[in-house]
Structures are given as structure tokens and as C-alpha cells.
């Protein structure tokens, strides 16, 4: 049970064991492009992460020291792709290759849109782009996890795209708003 400065969240793990057979959603009408970021600069990554995640309580990488974040981003098989709309960043996804019993799996480690681009058709389209990119790497499965603090449409969108839940657990975590205040105050 959550107490002071703690939050309770339900984490749902989802997977896909084969590429989707359904047609991809139509591309959004506004000019857009997805680009893989080569050697992503930390300031740019933090901008993406915080812009997507600040309203939905993403916090782990906000407080991660630069050296640790650089090491995570430089892992073999980890790639960041940015959605641009009209030339401006609008969201991103991050894929991470993992090994499970000597078989390759691809985790959709992070996925999201900037708040002003939600509800314009970019979410389903970008999710399918991430799925297609992951399956182009021939994994045994693709997986992700989401929680009750994620965007309310996240879980239904993942399921509509073909992900199926395989595990659910309740976790109690430090309230990221308190963690951020402590980090800023130096306490």
C-alpha cells in the first residue's frame, strides 16, 4: 500500500510474438518524418524524455546521472527515433534489443508524443512505425510495459496495435514529484 511520498501503480507487460498482419494506419495529413538519431546528445534526449513524460510522471531518466544515461543510450542494440512534424520534434520511441534464452527480443523501452500532438493521428501511426522497425530486426518477440500513470490511451492503443498482456503487477514507487523536489533542493 502506498504511503506518504509513495505511489501505487499497476504495471502491465505486453508482448507481440509475430509481426502484425493488419494494414498500418493511414499516415497523418501534416508533413512528418521519423529519423533515427545517431549518437543522441544527452541534452536532446532529456528534452524528448521530459517533454513527453513530464505530464505522465516519467522520472527515472530525469534524475539519472549523465554518465549512467550516456551508458544506457550507448548500449548495443538501443536506438532512438524522433518524429518530426513540420520540421519540429513531436515525439519519439526507443527500441532496446535484449536476449532471452539466446533469442533476441526487442523492447519498446519508451514511446510517446509531445502533448500538443496527441489526438491528431500521430500516435497509432508512430506506434506502427516502431513495431515495423522492431520486426525488421527479426526478434523472437517484441515487448513493452506501461503503467496506470501512463497516458490513459496508452494501454488500449498498445492492445489495438496487436500487443497482448502477459503479466501484471502492483508496485509502490517513490513519488517522482517528491524525488524531483529533493533533487533540486539537494536534500
Alpha carbon distance 164, 143 (integer Å): 9
Over 132-159, what HEC string results?
A: HHHHCCCCCEEEEEEECCCCCCHHHHHH
Residue 125, H or E segment: helix 122-135
pLDDT digits (tens, 9 = 90+) for 31-54: 999 999 999 999 999 999 999 998
For the chain, the domains span 6-181
Question: Residue 180: what pLDDT?
Answer: 56
Averaged pLDDT of the chain? 91
Neighbours of 41 (CB within 10 A): 11
Reported as a pLDDT band with limits 50, 70 and 90, residue 21 is very high
pLDDT digits (tens, 9 = 90+) for 139-149: 999 999 999 88
- For residue 75, report the phi and psi dihedrals to the nearest 5 degrees: -60, 140
- For residue 154, report the phi and psi dihedrals to the nearest 5 degrees: -60, -55
| CB-based contacts of 153-156 (< 8 A; 24+ apart in sequence) | 153/123, 155/12
Beta strands 78-85 and 32-37, pairing class = antiparallel
For domain 6-181, give the CATH superfamily. Gcn5-related N-acetyltransferase (GNAT) (3.40.630.30)
What mean pLDDT comes out for the span 4-26? 92
Alpha carbon distance 80, 78 (integer Å): 7
Alpha carbon distance 88, 162 (integer Å): 29
What mean pLDDT comes out for the span 83-110? 95
Cα–Cα distances in Å, from 180 out to 6, 46, 47, 67, 183? 13, 14, 16, 19, 5
Question: Residue 57: what pLDDT?
Answer: 80
Judged by DSSP in three states, 106 sits in: strand
Amino acid at each position: 500500500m502506498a504511503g506518504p511520498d509513495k505511489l501505487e501503480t499497476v504495471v502491465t507487460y505486453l508482448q507481440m510474438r509475430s509481426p502484425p498482419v493488419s494494414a498500418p494506419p493511414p499516415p497523418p495529413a501534416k508533413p512528418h518524418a521519423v529519423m533515427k538519431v545517431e549518437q543522441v546528445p544527452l541534452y536532446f534526449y532529456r528534452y524528448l524524455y521530459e517533454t513527453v513524460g513530464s505530464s505522465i510522471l516519467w522520472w527515472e531518466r530525469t534524475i539519472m546521472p549523465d554518465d549512467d544515461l550516456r551508458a544506457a543510450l550507448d548500449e548495443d542494440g538501443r536506438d532512438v527515433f524522433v518524429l518530426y512534424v513540420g520540421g519540429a520534434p513531436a515525439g519519439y520511441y526507443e527500441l532496446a534489443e535484449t536476449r532471452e534464452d539466446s533469442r533476441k527480443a526487442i523492447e519498446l523501452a519508451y514511446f510517446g508524443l509531445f502533448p500538443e500532438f496527441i489526438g491528431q493521428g500521430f500516435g497509432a501511426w508512430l506506434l506502427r512505425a516502431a513495431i515495423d522497425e522492431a520486426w525488421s530486426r527479426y526478434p523472437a518477440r517484441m515487448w513493452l510495459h506501461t503503467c496506470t500513470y501512463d497516458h490513459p490511451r496508452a494501454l488500449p492503443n498498445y492492445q489495438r496495435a496487436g500487443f497482448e498482456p502477459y503479466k501484471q503487477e502492483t508496485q509502490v514507487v517513490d513519488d517522482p514529484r517528491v524525488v524531483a523536489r529533493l533533487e533540486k533542493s539537494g536534500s
